[in-house]
Structure 1
Amino acid sequence: MSTESAAAISAVRRDWVAEHRESYLRSGGAEGHIMDITAVGGRSFATNCLVKYVGRKSGKVFITPLCYADIGGEVVICASKGGADHHPAWYLNIVEADEVEFQIATQAFRGTWREPEGTERQKVWDFFVDCHPFYATYQASTDRILPLVMMSAVEAIPVFKESDATGTRQY
């Protein structure tokens, strides 16, 4: 995908993503977890989580809403950036961290993360695309392999609040 195409997708998504994030946070997770995203090629009951991480350069805290799937008791997210030719900032920040914080509906967790490899990666990818079909289109639009991140809960933590974020990510 060209830089221009990625920028166009980003401009269209920016307001929607920001509104989704705010709704999820303001409701404590009661809203925003399940969404109808059929308009963008998704499912009518698509699952969404929040991921909280620290910027590797800025040191600021960011909270990003992402589609997820649950496979084998692990939460899987995809670093697609809409099929752009470069990784999203959230992914670059997570791979620099030892742990990850994520929220599913009204429950938040501190946990570990890993990237599946080999045959496991293919199995997870197939499952993820079955849950969120538009990710196949994202993969087809770039030469990079879209990373998958699998998160496992270690301990429950308080749900995220808007005030937890000290930085605002541009989408």
Structure 2
Amino acid sequence: MTESPRASSARIPPRWFIRTAWVVHRALYRVTGGRFGLRRPTDTVYGMMRLHTVGRRTGKERVAIVAYFEDGPDLVTMAMNGWDEPPPAWWLNLQAHPEARVDLPGGERRVRARRAAGAERERLWDVFRGLEGANVDLDALARLRSRETPIVVLEPLP
């Protein structure tokens, strides 16, 4: 018997809790003038960066704080919306306007986004698996969604 996409031992917090955490994270960054809220990735922990996109409908700048790791010169993140079904707005924005800007602990960088596919996606997913730690089952969380979680590669622009 095939397991349904919703059948999983993974548990995620309620949506209100996730949204509150995002608001607090952005506020922490803003109130401290950027001293807190971002971090560099390590071999075992993902980093946090601010991603500036252009709204696909409004044309206005939108900002999200997302997890990432470095893969050579590229930055890699997952397009998830707190493991909820709809894709995050920043990913929809990047699909419409792939050029973006990121704030990293060491400064700012211009990037172009693309979706990883095939063997590259599997390799990058495996890296995220290792960063999540023993307490999180990334695959079980991914099964909560009806579609594959996109892995987004942000390639540096000159």
TM-score (norm 2): 0.77
Secondary structure at 1:34 match in 2: coil
Is the alpha carbon distance of 1:138 and 1:82 closer, same or farther for their aligned partners in structure 2, counting shifts above 3 Å?
farther
Task: Choose from 1, 4, 9 the match for 2:14.
Answer: 9
Task: Choose from 121, 146, 150 the match for 1:143.
Answer: 146
Which residue in the other structure is 2:77 paired with?
Answer: 77
In the alignment, the residues of structure 1 paired with residue 116 and residue 71 of structure 2 have an alpha-carbon distance, to the nearest angstrom, of: 12
Higher-Rg structure is 2
Q: Does the aligned pair in 2 maintain the 1:112–1:151 contact within 8 Å?
A: yes
Larger proportion of helix: 1
Deviations 1:94-129 (A, max 9, x none): 111131111111411111122111111100111022
Which residue in the other structure is 1:22 paired with?
Answer: 27
TM-score (norm 1): 0.72
Between the two proteins, what is the percent identity of the paired residues? Answer: 24
Which residue in the other structure is 1:128 paired with?
Answer: 128
Q: Matches of residues 11-90 of structure 1 in structure 2 within 5 Å?
A: 11-34=16-39, 45-90=45-90
Unpaired segments ≥5 residues, structure 1? 3-7, 36-42, 156-171
Which residue in the other structure is 2:10 paired with?
Answer: none
> What root-mean-square deviation, in Å, do the aligned CA atoms of Structure 1 and Structure 2 show?
2.3
Unpaired segments ≥5 residues, structure 2? 7-12
In the alignment, the residues of structure 2 paired with residue 84 and residue 144 of structure 1 have an alpha-carbon distance, to the nearest angstrom, of: 11
In the alignment, the residues of structure 2 paired with residue 62 and residue 51 of structure 1 have an alpha-carbon distance, to the nearest angstrom, of: 8
Deviation at 1:31, TM superposition (A): 1.2
